[in-house]
Amino acid sequence: MNPALRAFEHTPVPITALPTANSLGLDEVQRLEAVCLLRPGLCEFGRSTVRFAQYCGVLCIGERILEILPKTDRTTADAAPAHDMLLRMLRVVHDLPSPPLGSGSHDVIRSPLIELFAGRFLAETMRLVKAGLLKSYVSRSENSATVRGRIDWPRHLRANAGRQDRAWCEFDELTHDVAVNRVLVLALLHLRDWLVAPTLIRLWHELMAAFDGIAPARRDEIERLCLDRQSRRYAAALKWARWIIEGLSPSLRAGAATAPALLFDMNQLFERYVAIKLARQAPPGWVVECQYDDRHLARVLVGEQSSQPAYRLKPDLLVRRADRIVMIADTKWKRLERDRYGKIRPSTDDMYQLNAYATAFQECGELALIYPCFDGLAADTLETTMRYELAGPSGSQSRRVHVAAVDLMDDVLRVRVGSSGDVLRRLAA
Residues 13-30: pLDDT tens digits? 999 999 998 999 999 898
CB atoms within 10 A of CB 13: 20
Mean predicted confidence (pLDDT) in 133-144: 85
Mean predicted confidence (pLDDT) in 250-277: 72
Phi-psi region of 299 (alpha: psi -120 to 50; beta: other; left: phi over 0): beta
Residue 24 has a pLDDT of 93
Residue 109 has a pLDDT of 42
Mean pLDDT (the chain) is: 83
What gap in Å lies between CA 219 and CA 285, rounded to an integer?
Answer: 44
Confidence of residue 174 (pLDDT cuts 50, 70, 90): confident
Residues 334-370: pLDDT tens digits? 888 777 777 778 888 999 999 999 989 988 889 999 9
- Statement: residue 124 has pLDDT above 50: yes
The residue that leads in pLDDT, 249 or 317, is 317
Q: Among 362, 272, 225, which residue's Cα sits nearest to residue 89?
A: 272
Residues 202-211: pLDDT tens digits? 999 999 999 9
- Statement: residue 237 has pLDDT above 50: yes
Confidence of residue 75 (pLDDT cuts 50, 70, 90): low
Residue 26 has a pLDDT of 92
Residues 295-320: pLDDT tens digits? 888 888 877 776 788 899 999 999 99
- Helix, strand, or coil here: 415? strand
- Cα separations (Å) of 257 from 176, 253, 254, 293? 31, 8, 8, 33
Confidence of residue 220 (pLDDT cuts 50, 70, 90): confident
What gap in Å lies between CA 315 and CA 301, rounded to an integer?
Answer: 25
| pTM for the structure as a whole | 0.79
CB–CB of 365/357 below 8 Å?
Answer: no
Taking CA 257 as the corner, what is the angle to CA 254 and CA 261, rounded to the nearest 5 degrees? 105
Q: How many CA atoms lie within 13 A of 262 on its CB side?
A: 28
Q: Where are the beta strands (DSSP E) in 92-226?
A: 136-144, 150-151, 167-175
Residue 376 has a pLDDT of 58
Single-letter amino acid code for the residue at 151: I
Residue 106 has a pLDDT of 37
